[in-house]
Structure 1
Amino acid sequence: MKGNNNFFKIFILGLLSAIGPFSIDMYLPGFPDIAKELQTDVSNVSLTLSSFFIGISIGQLLYGPLLDKYGRKKPLYFGLSLYLIASLGCALSTSVTMLIVCRFFQALGGCAGMVASRAMVRDMFDVKDNAKVFSLLMLVIGVSPIIAPTLGGYVSATLGWRYVFGILFLIGSGIFLLCFFKLPESKKPVEGYSLAPKFILQKFGEVFKQPQFVIYTFTSAFTAAGLYAYIAGSPHVFMEIFGTSEKTYGLIFSVVAAALIVATQINAQILRFTSSQKIIPIAITFQCCAGILLLIGFINNWWGITSSVVFCSIFLACQGFTFPNASALALAPFEQNAGSASALIGCIQMAVGTLSSAMVSIFHNETAVPLGFVMAFCAVMAITILLTGKGIVKYRARKVQVEKNR
């Protein structure tokens, strides 16, 4: 992988990947102001977040086939254009219903960058370098939870929440221009590629026939679900149970996010000496230990703020080792269907992540136990899927070999 030649490409792909997370995190501090100006309550404003998640989930499945048929850039231009129009719609919203609808279309447009960036990594770089590239993308993505809430809070307090969406419009415009002038097309359009529902489902089915895709996609999805659970449950644990201020919680959030970012960069260096297949089980084992210890400590009231931050940081650092490697291995078998595979990865991760967030809410009580339980559960599920899946593949391989030798 030629560092200087590919750095700018990776940076642009990282920006495309970060559109979704940045669009989520940046407007969160403005919830009270949005509710006040639109004459509603915060619970209704939170529906704008739900509609965004729905848009991301649906959109990724739509863009997969489009990216495989028309090449990567045309669907990307369409998605980014939709994102820009919807961002303006959000800024000009006169009711919470209008904001909910505009946020849906904002997600529907923005997720094109998330799907296209994964597919373009598979197109542009050697398979053996994919995990390193995903680690570098995580460096850009990981900055979002550190910068976005702080920037969004400052803009909301000084200029008003509408300017948050104005800034998202400017950021999206800059990314669009970078893609247009600096990002090369990585896949030619495929003539004869049908967009009929039956054909699309058939292509998705072909992706699911690859055991490597299924194993590493669901392994990655459950480790990522632990991250979603942390995002959903940590405000209650740190601000309401431990009694930290909003500023202190923001600092805690930044520290834990930094652990994730640092881990992805360490992963990129470790890959010089070992393989993704060896890193993943070790990382998830440590994640299981951190999650289980966190749960046991919460049950017995052992952990204070510092120890909780330490275990959460270890837990999410393990995600920094798992995500890049699992994403690379899940996409590795595909060349022609990389767009569809990328779409399924994103959709599955979002679906499992949404489920884990819901579990935190369902089990909610006045303790930190629900958060510890869901995080531990996700890690245990991840290692169970990994080990069981690899065991089944080895068993089938031995069975085929025995039949050949007869």
Structure 2
Amino acid sequence: MTEAPRGHAGLILLLGSLTAIAPMSIDMYLPAFPALQATFATDAAAVQRTLSVFFIGLALGQLFYGPLSDRYGRRRPLLVGLALYTVASAGCALAGSIPQLMCWRGLQALGGCAGVVMARAVVRDVFGPREAARVLSSLMLVMGVAPILAPMVGGWVLAHAGWRALFGILVAFGAATWVAVARGLPDTPPAARATTLTVASVAAAFGRVARHARFRRFAGAGALAQCVLFAYIAGAPFLYMQVLGLSPTGFAAMFGLNSLGLIAASQINRGLLTRETARDVLSRALVLQILAAALFVVLARAVTPGLFRLAGPVWLVVLLLGFVLPNTTALALAPFDRDAGTASALLGSLQYGTSGLATLVVSAAFDGTLRPMAVAILLFVGGAWVLATRRIPAQPDL
């Protein structure tokens, strides 16, 4: 592991920008769905597929960048990915049909996912395990703020300049991030740089990571925690607008309140890690999350649901993700010096892949009530607790 620089603010800001690529590319164009439908004279399902393609590219593309970054360093593969992201964003802005937009969105995801992989890998390269969890908590600010600000910015730009301008903003953001990486990102030298990159060596690297007991334990817990987040996102419109009768403005306010809770928890987590281990914080957070999820299951069966009775447990479940997600990520990546990029890639693909499947399962089980969403969240949280607290061979506390 390389020595951490004395001043971390600039590096963390740059890593935050890389982390922001995915949420900005997803959340900012959501208000444009009706406009896209009108422009291309198509149905809502076709527009929705432009989002699905992005998620698929985001999950699969990470597997490509991890081994490359372990062989060639973090900066060069990242610059290639950012260049692809920027060009693909321009293609999205110029798309003349839904199939063209889907194609460009897929390429945009394949480029942008480099930022997701490299941000985690650089944190693992530069910081020790406990400090890495604190830095990842700082990066959670991005994940919490993006769902609040990106749709607002997207709606304003859409009203004043049209949907193509949204992708123009992403072109500018991608280009600016490319320049910042080229000038300011330290190229942390991976231990495996001298290894020849072959199919066999890549398979061996993924095998080493997948066989590691600690990785399986905490990556699995983190993937299930991500499933909780996606199940909440998928079910939130039904919960707040149909069950609780809130207006779109009220829905946005509740969604923002939950995001603020996630942000606050991630920053409290940074403070706790100065005196407690990541595993201790994680274990307690998961116990509280199980209790909140169980309460949600009980209240979801109520004949006359109330705003505070239902929204309260959901708010607590989402808030506690601010403790769970950064700590599971740091603990999963902690054992890897040689294969940090590969581990980061496998972790990200596992998270997005399982979350996508979980969303499909929850949607298929929908019966017009909150029960499928509530039960799914409880099962995901319970599974995360089982994995995170399972005994593995003794290793130093992190």
TM over 0.5: yes
Q: CA deviation at 1:189?
A: 8.3
1:321-360 aligned at under 5 Å gives the runs 321-360=323-362
Please name the residue that 1:295 is paired with.
297
Q: Distance in 2 between matches of 1:58 and 1:195?
A: 19
Distance 1:302 1:226, change over 3 A: farther
Shift of 1:309: 2.3
- Stretch of structure 1 that moved more, 108-117 or 312-321: 312-321
In structure 2, the residue matched to 1:87 is 89
Q: Secondary structure at the match of 2:158?
A: helix
Q: Contact 2:282 / 2:323 at 8 angstroms: preserved in 1? A: yes
Q: How many residue pairs are counted as aligned between the two chains?
A: 393
Pick closer, same or farther for the CA change 1:352–1:74 going to 2, 3 Å: same
TM-score normalised to structure 2 length: 0.95
What is the CA-CA distance between 1:9 and the residue it aligns to? 0.2
- Equivalents in 1 of 2:345, 2:5: separation in Å? 27
> CA shift at 1:241, angstroms?
2.3
Structure 1 residue 190: Cα displacement: 4.9
Amino acid at match of 1:253: F
Tell me the SS of whatever aligns to 1:60: helix
Residue by residue, what CA displacement relative to the aligned partner does 1:53-88 show, whole Å, maximum 9, x if unpaired?
110111000000010011000000000000001101
CA distance in 1, matches of 2:190, 2:345: 18
**If the length of structure 1 is used for normalisation, what is the TM-score?**
0.93
Aligned residues of 2:70 and 2:193 also touching (Cα < 8 A): no
Distance in 1 separating the partners of 2:347 and 2:162? 36
Shift of 1:355: 1.7
Q: Distance in 2 between matches of 1:131 and 1:366?
A: 39
Rounded to whole Å, the distance in 1 between the matches of 2:84 and 2:40 is 24
1:277 is aligned to: 279
> Compared with structure 1, are the counterparts of its residues 344 and 193 closer, same or farther at alpha carbon in structure 2 (3 Å cutoff)?
same
> 1:182 maps to which residue?
184
For 1:140, the aligned partner's letter is: V
Unaligned residue ranges in structure 1 (runs of 5+): 398-406
Q: Deviations over 1:338-373 (max 9, x none)?
A: 000000110111111112211221111222222212
Q: C-alpha displacement at 1:175, in angstroms?
A: 1.4
Give the CA RMSD over aligned residues.
1.7
The CA distance in 1 between the partners of 2:21 and 2:253, in whole Å, is 22
Which residue of structure 1 aligns with residue 136 of structure 2?
134
Matching residue within 366, 369, 379 for 1:367: 369
Once the two structures are superposed, what CA deviation does each residue of 1:257-282 show, in whole Å capped at 9, x if it has no partner? 11001000000001111110111111
The one of 137, 143, 146 aligned to 2:145? 143
Distance in structure 1 (CA, Å) of the matches to 2:174 and 2:331: 30
Aligned 8 A contact 1:71 1:189 in 2: no
Q: Distance in 1 between matches of 2:347 and 2:305?
A: 35
Q: Which residue of 1 aligns with 2:51?
A: 49
Distance change >3 Å, CA 334–CA 3, structure 1 → 2: closer
For 1:196, which of 182, 193, 198 is the aligned residue?
198
- Which one is further off, 21-30 or 297-306? 297-306
Residue 223 (structure 1) aligned to one of 204, 217, 225: 225
SS of the residue corresponding to residue 46 of structure 1 reads: helix
- Shift of residue 301, structure 1, vs aligned partner: 3.5
Residue 277 of structure 2 aligns to which amino acid in structure 1? S
Aligned-partner Cα distance in 2 for 1:193–1:100: 36
Partner of residue 207, structure 2? 205
User: Which residue does 1:383 correspond to in 2?
Assistant: 385
Q: Structure 1 stretch 176-185 or stretch 268-277: which is displaced more? A: 176-185
C-alpha distance in structure 1 between counterparts of 2:225 and 2:217, whole Å: 13
Distance 1:309 1:4, change over 3 A: farther
Match of 2:306 in 1: 304
User: Given residue 282 of structure 2, which amino acid in structure 1 is its aligned partner?
Assistant: I
CA contact (8 A) 1:138 1:261 kept: yes
Provide Cα deviations, 1:189-210, integer angstroms capped at 9, x if missing partner: 8554233222211111101221
Q: CA deviation at 1:157?
A: 2.0
For 2:117 and 2:305, locate their aligned partners in 1 and report how far apart those are by CA, in whole Å.
Answer: 39
The equivalent residue for 1:259 is 261
Q: Which residue of 2 aligns with 1:38?
A: 40
Distance in structure 1 (CA, Å) of the matches to 2:92 and 2:191: 33
Q: Tell me how far apart the structure 1 counterparts of residues 191 and 284 of structure 2 sit (CA, whole Å).
A: 40
Separation (CA, whole Å) in 1 of partners of 2:222 and 2:304:
30
| Comparing 215-224 and 377-386, the one that deviates more | 377-386
Cα deviation for residue 2 of structure 1 reads: 7.9
Contact 2:299–2:309 (CA under 8 A) maintained in structure 1: no
Residue pair 1:71, 1:190 contacting (<8 A) in 2 also: no
Which residue pairs with 2:61 in the alignment? 59
Alignment partner of 1:5: what SS?
Answer: coil
- Alpha-carbon distance in 2 for matches of 1:62, 1:192: 18
- Cα deviation 1:110-150 (Å, max 9, x = unaligned): 00000000000011112331111111111123211110011
Give the 3 Å change call, closer, same or farther, for CA 106–270 of structure 1 in structure 2: same
For 2:146 and 2:225, the matched residues in 1 are separated by 19
1:303 Cα deviation after fit: 3.6
